Amino acid sequence: MKFSDLIDGGRLAAGGLKDFAVGLAHPSLRLGVTGLSRAGKTVFITSLIQALLKGGRFPAFEAYAGGRISRVYLEPQPDDGLPRFPYEDHLEALSQGETRHWPEGTRQISQLRLTIEYEPRGLVARTVGSGKLHLDIVDYPGEWLLDLPLMGMSYARWSALTIAASRSGPRLSRAGDWHAHLATLDAMASADETKAIRAAQLFTAYLASCRDDDASLSALPPGRFLMPGDFAGSPLLAFAPLDVNEDAVFSSGSLGALMERRYDSYVARIVKPFFFGHFARLDRQIVLVDALSALNAGAAAVSDLQTALAGILACFRQGSNSIVSSLFGRRIDRILFAATKADLLHQTSHDRLENILRLIVNDAANRAEYSGAVIDVVALAAIRATREARVTQKGETLDCIAGTPEKGEAIGNQVFDGNTEAAIFPGDLPENPRAALDGSLEGHLKFVRFRPPLKRLETFPHIRMDRAAEFLIGDRLA
């Protein structure tokens, strides 16, 4: 073990000790909610909190369905250094009648504490009295999670891997401007700040282009380049890969040495504090995945998603946070992967979507040689914006979904005005999940963005949120 690991271990132990001491008095569960930008984190958390506070229809969430939950309320969150998840603002956005709209998505880490009072299940447990669980929901960008492998990687190796990946598949066609500039850079020439900044700008534009709807690629570290949080414009982000071997050594004063120093600072001042301060303190994790967009974008996007999930699972591998677990028994013991926006498909495809995600996750777990927490998968819609509809067209009956498409969305020649309902045939998923991974669904699914539903009940309609809640917190309310 290196000296720096020991220091980091000490840092972690201090945080863990605080959690441990507090946890003795009041049991708490820190639930991480992550996923790449637009995967649906904000909508998921808002819907979950509302259902728990107001008593949503959650038949598969046993404690709720069995009437054992006596009271749920929000409490001031325990970490003063973290922004609060703006639940009320998000709810307000979704509830504004005709002007309702989806809330602004996650841009940085935030947290909210929910306290659940419940009647324990067993007779003996009940005689001890009612139970209380603090549920701390921690929302953070999945882009930051994909940075964790950088902790064990040198600048030269990261450069070599990043550039190799950019020379094939859909990345290549998006890398033109950046590659052209890269070809003008000499790692051993003397350091030049303007060139470093220009390289960072072009590299960031390349990453952003790989994320857009057509490509839908996932594995794109460094995550703060796309999701900077508080670091927007910081010199910590003014670096980019150089075309070097993975064992390159840079002489002092060279461009390579400047880039390497910034990369090392990025890891030391952004990635490690996130890992030790937040990630390593989680008990459970839900990873939201926009699998439908990846399936629709084709084989490269699906395989990239798999790479990203393997990277994520490697972070969760037991042992990587073993200092925490051995000292304080705190470690992530359950991870749920959830394919979001299942309401964009007819219900006949929900199980199929789940099976496809299961296959992707299993393959990723094999690749990451994963062992550790219990993993499950679910296809869900945090807020169901559509309902089922059957449409007969030329004698054929189609299983459709109906809702109000967002203004400007279009299918063929039809452009929607944001107020008109429409029934859409989104396409089917194949029964054999393997058949979905080879890219054959590319462009085959028809998605439009729907407006949130007009709220008629106290809580939002959803798909399988109760299953997610049962897996993530059910056992802690036993």
For ligand GDP, give the closer residue by CB, 185 or 400.
Answer: 400
Q: How far is CA 81 from CA 142, 276, 280, 282, 285, in A?
A: 20, 14, 16, 16, 21
For ligand GDP, give the closer residue by CB, 276 or 279.
Answer: 279
For residue 205, report the phi and psi dihedrals to the nearest 5 degrees.
-65, -35
Asked whether the beta carbons of 464 and 342 are under 8 A apart, the reply is: yes
For ligand GDP, give the closer residue by CB, 48 or 196.
Answer: 48
Retrieve residue 435's tokens: 């058949």
Among candidate residues 230, 219, 223, 315, the one with its CA nearest the CA of residue 267 = 223
Retrieve residue 148's tokens: 């964790």
For ligand GDP, give the closer residue by CB, 313 or 424.
Answer: 424
For ligand GDP, give the closer residue by CB, 30 or 341.
Answer: 341
Q: Which residue is nearest to ligand GDP (CB)?
A: 105
Measured at the CA of 12, the angle between CA 10 and CA 15, to 5 degrees, comes to 110
CA-CA-CA-CA dihedral for 408, 218, 33, 150, to nearest 10: -150
DSSP string across 238-288: -----S--TT----TTBHHHHHHHHHHHHIIIIIHHHHHHTGGG-SEEEEE
Both ends of the chain: CA-CA distance in Å? 40
Phi-psi label, residue 56: left if phi above 0, alpha if psi -120 to 50, beta otherwise: beta
For ligand GDP, give the closer residue by CB, 44 or 178.
Answer: 44
For ligand GDP, give the closer residue by CB, 16 or 35.
Answer: 35
DSSP code of residue 404: -
For ligand GDP, give the closer residue by CB, 146 or 381.
Answer: 381
Q: Which residues pair with 132 in a beta bridge?
A: 117
Retrieve residue 428's tokens: 């089917």
Residue with tokens 């060279």: 254
For ligand GDP, give the closer residue by CB, 343 or 466.
Answer: 343
Q: What is the closest distance, in whole angstroms, from the C-beta atom of residue 404 to ligand GDP in the complex?
A: 11
For ligand GDP, give the closer residue by CB, 134 or 341.
Answer: 341
Q: What is the closest distance, in whole angstroms, from the C-beta atom of residue 455 to ligand GDP in the complex?
A: 14
CA pseudo-torsion sign 414, 417, 421, 425: positive
Asked whether the beta carbons of 117 and 131 are under 8 A apart, the reply is: yes
Question: Counting every residue, how long is the chain?
Answer: 478
For ligand GDP, give the closer residue by CB, 69 or 463.
Answer: 463
| Peptide bond before residue 59 is cis, with ω within 30 degrees of 0 | no
Q: What is the closest distance, in whole angstroms, from the C-beta atom of residue 3 to ligand GDP in the complex?
A: 38
DSSP string across 441-467: TTTTS---PBPPPPP-SSS---BSHHH
Tally Cβ neighbours within 10 Å of residue 455. Answer: 17
Catalog residues that contact ligand GDP under the rule CB under 6 A. Answer: 35, 37-43, 102, 105-106, 340-341, 343-344, 381-383, 385, 449-450
**3-state secondary structure at position 318:** coil
